[in-house]
Structure 1
Amino acid sequence: MTHKRSLAAGFLALCAAGALTACAPVAATGTSADASSDGDGTTLTVFISGDTNVQDLWDKGIIPAYEAENPNVTVNTTIDLHGEHDQQTVAKLTTATEAGDDPGYDLIDAGFVTSSAAQAGTLLDIDADTVSGLADVPETTVAAGRGFGIPYRASSVLLAYDTDTVTDVPETLADLTQWIQDNPGEFAYNSPSTGGSGGAFVTTVLDSFLTQDEQDTLRTEADADIMAKWSEGFDELKALGPSTYQEGVYPNGNTQVLEMLGSGEISMAPVWSDQFLTSQQSGLIGENISFAQISDPSFTGNASYLGIPKTSDDTDAAIDLVNFVLSSEGQQIIAEQISGYPVVDLSTLPQEVQDQFVDADPSALRPGYYSEVSSEMANQWDQLVP
């Protein structure tokens, strides 16, 4: 079944997750970075590895609202744009944990860091008894955090298409690959190393040649025997090359794909849900561009997870901040600021939010590959497909 657009086209968003911008070194920032404490209060630091849209979500949305309700708490942010220093961050966190020292931040908003830090045993154990807000999050979404990650927002890759030129929208992956062949030059996806929307398309094609158990394994670990079975999928991607936008030419990043859709250079492409809404809001793409979700299999999507360092001096305060993020108010801020899917049960949110995100079921998101697997997939694509 095709799920047509039902997300909030009117939501304000700043910059889509996964979009590529200029890199910069780690820097402390945020509207609250200069806030003063009365000496009896608590100061928390949120470490972010990602784009400035995530930092703005905290600095301009979550933090001011939280501090207004908690005047004795000051929350600062520090950001590593695009995760250029993720390995060093994990090493620092590991060293601090082994020494029993405070690592210098109390909450981590960074996919690779959270995952690697959990593997190193440096994060606080998490469940609904520890973080009460998790009681409203679907069990499957919580379980994907493996007892350490705290889901707080989500997004998925969708199939965007030009309604002026596309009259028969593909409903399955097989429909989509047939459409690409029948409409040469009208479909594009970015190389997976430059953005997650192209990576989701590649992942989905590769998954179509794997069993469900094999797919599930690659979402939790790197298995060389299973990855060897990607050969059929890469063969299909290679065969599709002559029918894509220009043979051997692939857009550089998620944003370039949307620019091509907006200019009419192509008629169809995989895109991130939040970036789609942002681009339509800004006028980068017109109202003639709509979206659907395919099936058998669907494109991938995922929740973003927070982590709490176990040797933080303020774990209780960090848990309180997380519970605010998972509250109805916090989830609405995420929707308004970044067009992110709520991770809590929609029935706990106002009716207008329920209506706007009726298809945004985080429990139904098909996750992407484990980080090491995803990197290897991108490397093999570079070697085998263009």
Structure 2
Amino acid sequence: MLKKKILSLSMLSILSVSLLFSGCQSMGKSSTSTANTINLYAGGSDNVRTTWESVIKEFNTKNPNIKVNLQFIPSGTSSQGAVDKLIASEKSGQKETDIDLVEVTDGDISRLIKESGEKSLETLSSDKIPNIKDVKFQSSVGKDKALVFRGTTVVLAYNSDKVKDVPKTDTELYEWIKKNPGRFAYNDPTTGGAGASFLITSVYNGLPLEAIVSDDVKWKDQWNKGLALLKELHPYMYSSSGKVQYPAKNQGTLDLLANGQVDMIPAWADMTLDQLDKGTLPKSTKITQISPSLTGGVESLVIPSKSKNKEAAEKFMDFVDSVDGQKIFIESMKAIPVIDKSKLPQEDIDKLAGLEVKDFRPYSIGDLSKDLNKLWQDQIATLK
């Protein structure tokens, strides 16, 4: 009897140790399997970087088992972007990629689909990204391959103390520039999107509507009229030391407006509103949209089909278009929300001065933008 008791106790001890050990193993496996790391690729001005950092921080507090690495490429650098890397990986036949999420414009998506095919991007659905159902806008080229998360546009920013006859159309704007020599500036188009928008709209306003969303090289033959207009406007631009100057970067023209050296510029709405809020632009600064409008559009997120962490990437996408995510984009960079505004605090909506994504004028001309920039450098920037 004693032997049986001893044997039973021994077996119970062994069983307990075994269960404890297997439990530890199970816990170890669980903690490893729920921890994911996703790489988010984005680029642009510094306000874009700081906004993404805020979004990631808030996401991490709600999802501690998912780590988001921000791979950010500042504007004006020569670093290879995620779109180029994805195209290269597709052409080389790679089976996987460490790129899990990419911030893209419609132009980027168009290029990806053209060079890598639609299958290079994951199809998105409300089953895995529930907040898709609240998004009011869709990428014109990405469709169900892209999730729109913010709107942005270039507007005219002006000093309301000096400008009383505010232009309402492109024709009125060009007349204003000639009547007020030296009081208008746009940045070098190769250094920032605000100047590029002024160049593109000046050239494409005289072309058929479909041209501005086409990368067909046939449109290059019709650029001369727009370039001639920019040559005509050149002597009336901001000048320093007796020479016309095209400032570097989007911030360059905003600095001229802030210092009173010019009275009107093309500028990103989000940058202008953000700097007004922070007091780096005078209170007399106002913004307006002309007709046809300067270019803008929506920013989207895509998941490469070869991503190794699609489930975690979808969860991050869902947060970006949640009420909490949209609030961060509004408060941090004055981005235009893409979900129903009634779900957002009124004080945040009031900061956007009535801008609407539906009024934006998207463009998608692909690599033609590089050719147009080159012509601007050769024909406009070199003028005396």
State the TM-score, normalizing by the size of structure 1.
Answer: 0.81
Residues 363-372 or 260-269, more deviating: 363-372
Q: Post-superposition shift, 1:378?
A: 1.1
SS of 1:192's equivalent in the other structure is coil
Q: Per-residue CA shift, 1:64-98, capped at 9, x if unaligned?
A: 222222232222222233362126523454268x3
Verify the 8 A CA contact 1:258 1:279 in the aligned structure 2: no
Residues 263-272 or 358-367, more deviating: 358-367
1:230 to 223, 231, 241: 223
> Does residue 332 in structure 1 map to residue 330 in structure 2?
no
SS of 2:139's equivalent in the other structure is helix
> Does residue 46 in structure 1 map to residue 46 in structure 2?
no
Distance 1:275 1:147 in 2: 29
Verify the 8 A CA contact 2:156 2:265 in the aligned structure 1: yes
Query: In the alignment, which residue of structure 2 is the partner of 1:135?
Result: 133
Distance 1:362 1:187 in 2: 26
Verify the 8 A CA contact 1:159 1:271 in the aligned structure 2: yes
Verify the 8 A CA contact 1:161 1:268 in the aligned structure 2: yes
Inter-CA distance 282–357: structure 2 relative to 1 (3 Å threshold): closer
Distance 1:234 1:95 in 2: 36
Among all aligned residue pairs of Structure 1 and Structure 2, give the percentage whose two residues are the same amino acid: 30
> Does residue 368 in structure 1 map to residue 363 in structure 2?
yes
> Does residue 278 in structure 1 map to residue 274 in structure 2?
yes
Query: In the alignment, which residue of structure 2 is the partner of 1:32?
Result: none
> Does residue 380 in structure 1 map to residue 375 in structure 2?
yes
Verify the 8 A CA contact 1:134 1:142 in the aligned structure 2: no
Q: Post-superposition shift, 1:318?
A: 1.0
2:62 to 46, 59, 69: 69
Q: Per-residue CA shift, 1:306-352, capped at 9, x if unaligned?
A: 11011222212211210110011100011112221112232332333
Residues 260-269 or 354-363, more deviating: 354-363
Verify the 8 A CA contact 1:94 1:117 in the aligned structure 2: no
SS of 1:159's equivalent in the other structure is strand
Q: Per-residue CA shift, 1:196-216, capped at 9, x if unaligned?
A: 11111121111221122333x
> Does residue 55 in structure 1 map to residue 52 in structure 2?
no
SS of 2:190's equivalent in the other structure is helix
Inter-CA distance 214–118: structure 2 relative to 1 (3 Å threshold): closer
TM-align CA RMSD:
2.4
Query: In the alignment, which residue of structure 1 is the partner of 2:232?
Result: 239
Verify the 8 A CA contact 1:44 1:73 in the aligned structure 2: yes
> Does residue 100 in structure 1 map to residue 98 in structure 2?
no
Inter-CA distance 88–161: structure 2 relative to 1 (3 Å threshold): closer
Query: In the alignment, which residue of structure 2 is the partner of 1:158?
Result: 155
Structure 1 unaligned residues grouped into runs of 5+ = 1-36
Q: Post-superposition shift, 1:110?
A: 4.5
Inter-CA distance 38–131: structure 2 relative to 1 (3 Å threshold): closer
Query: In the alignment, which residue of structure 1 is the partner of 2:286?
Result: 290
SS of 1:290's equivalent in the other structure is strand
User: Which residues of 2 match residues 1-386 of structure 1 at below 5 A?
Assistant: 38-41=31-34, 42-59=36-53, 61-82=54-75, 84-86=79-81, 89-91=85-87, 93-94=89-90, 98-101=93-96, 103-111=97-105, 115-119=110-114, 120-121=116-117, 122-128=120-126, 131-139=129-137, 141-215=138-212, 219=213, 221-246=214-239, 248-295=244-291, 297-357=292-352, 359-386=354-381
Question: Which structure carries more relative contact order (alpha carbon 8 Å, separation 6+)?
Answer: 1
Query: In the alignment, which residue of structure 1 is the partner of 2:8?
Result: none
Inter-CA distance 186–358: structure 2 relative to 1 (3 Å threshold): closer
Query: In the alignment, which residue of structure 2 is the partner of 1:24?
Result: none
Distance 1:92 1:205 in 2: 34
Distance 1:353 1:284 in 2: 19
Structure ID, larger Rg: 2
